[in-house]
Amino acid sequence: MQYNISYDNPLQHFVDIELIIDHINQPMVTLKLPAWRPGRYELGNFIGNIQKFQVTDAQNNSLPFRKTEKDHWEVETSGIDCIKVQYNYYAYQMDAGSCWLDEYQLYLNFINCLIFTPDRLHEKCILNLEIPQDYIIACGLDQTAARQLRATDFYHLVECPLIASNQLQHFSYVLDQTKYHLWLMGQCDLNWKKVEADFIAFTREQTQTMGAFPSSDYHFLCQILPYRMYHGVEHYNSTVIALGPGESMNEDWFYQNFMGVCSHELFHTWNVIRIKPEEFIPYDFNRENYFETGFVAEGFTTYYGDLFLVRSGVFDKNWYFRELKKLLNRHLHNLGRFNLSLAQSSFDLWIDGYKKGIPDRKVSIYTKGALVALILDLKIRQCSQNKNSLDQLMLQLWQKFGDTRSGYTTTHIIDMASQLAGTSLQDFLEDLVEGVAPIEGYLSELLAYVGCELASETPDNLYENDFGFKATKKENHHIITQLHPDSAAAHKLSLDDEIIAINSRKASLDLNLLIGKQQSITLSVFRQNRLQEVILERQEEAYFPDYNIRQLADSTEEQQRNFKAWLKCQ
């Protein structure tokens, strides 16, 4: 399959795409556009971005075709050995998994916009780009000629996104014969000397853990945006990262996010890109690919993305404990943990995995998955007296399933973990992955092994803890975003209620200042544009306590050794 890509007016954001299929020897050719993209487990409906569509023969004579599904076509090809499919695609969504065209750049995730024919998926693909002469191409594909890229097959092609622009900043470093490229699109002032040292540090830590890097080159394609954004998507030998605002590049919070997402996405080069769940062998681009092992694919990666940063010395243990605190509170404040298991929530990603959804329905495979990875890592360490850990499990997965035509299942994870621990972990993992048992007990026991403890404290927002509701500020009022189902607030307030006053005072200030330590408060709220007054009584129960992990001041020498074996620091 050969693709020719061009455009006329970048401010209209339409990319013109021509697909040429030759050596046809059948009466009918089926054409399909992918319905989702790997790394995002929901249907994408990319077909909605196609405005014009036609099919011709090699002499530009129109050919009859019919649409059989929303993104499937059939073309009559009796006596025809070559067809051209010509269509345009609206490239005007900026995130790490979509497409964008403007006067400054052409940015394409090919999985969104390239039509294919199913019986040619394993043939080589050629991509020709008609772009300005001064544009530089940032992409993981080989350039075989000027503005021509080649992929081994369609699967390879759609795993190699592209940014083309004359405004790209480019930096690189070499480690163990692999060349790593950092491409920055957007305005930012990068301290390359510091970034290079930190990238080399976490790249080396990942490579040493997994044995070797699986590619001779790797590309970080970074969209640095003038507004707040945080998103990353993994690919075969690259990643796209969308972050903003770029003016904050050298501020601590931004830099920590930047390092965090880059470390996370780099580890995906092994985990998910090459070590795949059984259900992803091969990807079916036209339907949901249901799987129950999202806790490995995304949860383990979330755990390791941060772990590598503290192990490599990029950040210290205090930063790491702050990241664990975020995970803990996201999970333990989510009452969906009592409804859907980690495995069920993985399967149901295709329903509402990336939407807010109804209250307290499910857990996050990223958040709970990362906490289960932490628990499993410490459990294997404890049972094997630090001879083994989750590192060995990942290495075994890499050796058994990396770049093979087979994928793992939950059973593989349980068997491998049990072997490394020297005892059966089946009931242990079934509780954590297939059940809805609380994780606090497991976590407390295993944190003690490394001289730490799970602690809970009164949160900064007292109204969350004492009254059982959460709210976010919007202009001069606050919107109710979460209600603890066991609180009195759940019986008197509704999600999306707008708090406009507390005890007759306008709710333009911090709610803590207005509520203080009062035992009883009167909330004036708009509900569906109707004014209501609600009286709440402060409760003794702690509804949303603030969870964190901290080191024991009196930890033993053995606990300190275990801690160092885990985080590689004191």
- The verdict on 479 and 495 lying in the same domain is yes
Is residue 544 one of the residues assigned to a domain?
A: no
Residues 434 and 495 reside in one and the same domain = no
User: Is 281 within a domain?
Assistant: no
Compute CA 174 distance to the chain's CA centroid, rounded to the nearest angstrom: 26
Q: Both tokens of residue 383? A: 């049972």
Question: Which pLDDT does position 540 carry in this prediction?
Answer: 86
Same domain, 142 and 174: no
Task: Please give the Cα distance from 157 to 138 (Å, whole number).
Answer: 14
Measured between alpha carbons, how far apart are the two ends of the chain, in Å? 55
61 in the same domain as 193? no
Q: Give the end of a domain, one of 99, 130, 165.
A: 165
Domain end point (choices 202, 235, 269): 269
* Domain interval for residue 468: 462-537
In a domain, 545, yes or no: no
**Same-domain check for residues 503 and 404:** no
**Does a structural domain hold residue 190?**
yes
The residue out of 116, 141, 165 marking a domain boundary is: 165
For 285, list phi and psi in degrees, rounded to 5.
-75, -5
> Where does 91-224 show beta strands of DSSP type E?
100-101, 105-108, 125-129, 136-139, 142-145, 148-151, 162-165, 169-175, 178-185, 217-224
230 falls within a domain: yes
What's the CA gap between 413 and 92, in Å, rounded? 41
Number of Cβ atoms within 10 Å of the Cβ of 528: 9
138 with 10, same domain? yes
Do residues 161 and 173 share a domain? no
Are 501 and 407 in a shared domain?
A: no
Please write the tens of the pLDDT for every residue from 496-535. Answer: 999 999 999 999 888 999 998 899 999 999 999 999 999 9
What CATH number has the domain bearing residue 111?
A: 2.60.40.3650
Is residue 492 assigned to a domain?
yes
Q: How many CB atoms lie within 10 A of CB 451?
A: 21
**Would you state the structure tokens that stand for residue 73, as one six-digit string?**
């076509």
Both 113 and 220 in a single domain?
no
Same structural domain, 398 and 466? no
CATH number for the domain that contains residue 312 = 1.10.390.10
Within this chain, do residues 442 and 508 fall inside the same structural domain, yes or no? no
Same domain for 298 and 438: yes
Domain count, the chain: 4
Query: For residue 353, what pLDDT is reported?
Result: 82
Classify residue 59: in a domain, yes or no.
yes
Residue 124, domain member (yes or no): yes
Tell me which residues of the chain have a pLDDT lower than 50.
none
Give me the pLDDT at residue 221, please: 98
Q: Is 99 left (phi over 0), alpha (psi -120 to 50) or beta?
A: beta
